[in-house]
């Protein structure tokens, strides 16, 4: 029951924010503008191409490995636990978020945006939702690979849960990491610095469970810190375990990071 109430509150906050964002049509205009800036940029197409290639290679390698004999894990688990997948994964967020606010500050257009007849929350959500939309688009080709495989598979009941869990956790972690990137981009006018901050914190959040494995710390502290490790969450969702606690965790921290970013932008607005 407490988890249900918490999820309800989080969804209410998200719905209220989206309603405020869409009211008057200004937010949608900003969102379309940001999406256009993504797809008019050659960097976006380079990232999309590289992610498709690496995901395709990871998927093909997993198929080849499974053909060698009986395996106790699904094709989804092989694909999303591969080195190729994680090599591509953590470079996505710095690339798609580093320019969101840092570029505006470098060009001097942030003052114009903050003093324009739009609210700060509309500006923030437009950039965040544009980055999140592009992030989702990055994974659609890989999802198509799995769907085609499922259609031609004779026994896919177990792998459907694994596939669903995998893409849910990819979405949740993406929401969280993009929020980190938004905050990093709002803190500096240097895109490279913003990218490094985003990459460092995303990677540390993922590896925190590994870092503590061989350190002389108490089991209670290790379990507490491991609870925040992305690697542990990914492993559970890939196994088909949809844990509502992780839904609360990633959504609440994404909202928290966006709230901090909002305060940073408001501070800059009052300085203008």
Render pLDDT for 161-190 as a digit per residue (tens, 0 to 9): 777 888 888 888 899 999 999 999 988 888
pLDDT in tens, 65-77: 767 665 666 677 7
* pLDDT at residue 140 tops 70: yes
User: Any idea what DSSP says for residue 229?
Assistant: -
Count of residues making up the chain: 272
State the CB neighbour count (10 A cutoff) for residue 271.
8
* pLDDT at residue 1 tops 60: no
Give 263's Cβ-side CA count (13 Å radius).
5
List the chain domain ranges. Answer: 2-151+159-271
pLDDT in tens, 197-220: 999 888 888 777 666 656 666 667
The winner for highest mean pLDDT among 211-215, 240-244, 262-266 is 262-266
CA 11 to CA 119: how far, in whole Å? Answer: 22
More confident residue, 135 or 271: 135
- Write down the H helix ranges in 156-190: 157-187
CA 232 to CA 228: how far, in whole Å? Answer: 8
Angle at 150 between CA 144 and CA 153, to 5 degrees: 145
Q: What is the pLDDT of residue 16?
A: 76
> Global pTM?
0.86
Contact at 8 Å (CB) between 14 and 256?
Answer: no
Six token digits for residue 103: 């570029």
Decide: residue 227, CB within 10 A, 0-12 exposed, 13-18 middle, 19+ buried.
Answer: middle
Q: What is the pLDDT of residue 9?
A: 76
CA 196 to CA 165: how far, in whole Å? Answer: 29
């Amino acid at each position: 029951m407490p988890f249900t109430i918490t999820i309800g509150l989080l969804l209410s906050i998200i719905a209220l924010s989206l309603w405020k964002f869409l009211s008057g049509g200004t937010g949608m205009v900003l969102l379309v503008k940001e999406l256009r800036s993504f797809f008019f940029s050659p960097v976006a197409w380079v990232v999309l191409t590289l992610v498709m290639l690496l995901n395709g290679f990871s998927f093909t390698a997993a198929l080849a490995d499974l053909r060698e004999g009986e395996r106790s894990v699904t094709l989804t688990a092989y694909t999303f636990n591969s080195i190729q997948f994680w090599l591509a994964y953590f470079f996505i967020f710095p690339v798609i978020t580093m320019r969101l606010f840092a570029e505006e500050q470098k060009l001097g257009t942030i003052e114009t945006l903050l003093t324009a007849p739009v609210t700060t929350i509309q500006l923030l959500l437009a950039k965040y939702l544009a980055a999140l939309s592009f992030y989702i688009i990055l994974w659609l080709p890989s999802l198509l690979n799995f769907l085609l495989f499922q259609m031609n598979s004779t026994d896919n009941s177990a792998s459907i849960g694994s596939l669903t869990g995998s893409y849910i956790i990819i979405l949740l972690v993406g929401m969280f990491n993009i929020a980190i990137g938004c905050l990093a981009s709002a803190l500096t006018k240097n895109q490279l610095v913003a990218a490094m901050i985003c990459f460092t914190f995303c990677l540390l959040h993922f590896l925190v469970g590994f870092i503590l494995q061989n350190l002389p710390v108490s089991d209670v502290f290790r379990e507490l810190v491991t609870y925040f490790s992305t690697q542990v969450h990914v492993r559970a969702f890939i196994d088909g375990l949809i844990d509502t606690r992780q839904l609360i965790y990633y959504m609440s921290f994404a909202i928290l990071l966006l709230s901090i970013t909002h305060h940073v932008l408001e501070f800059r607005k009052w300085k203008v």
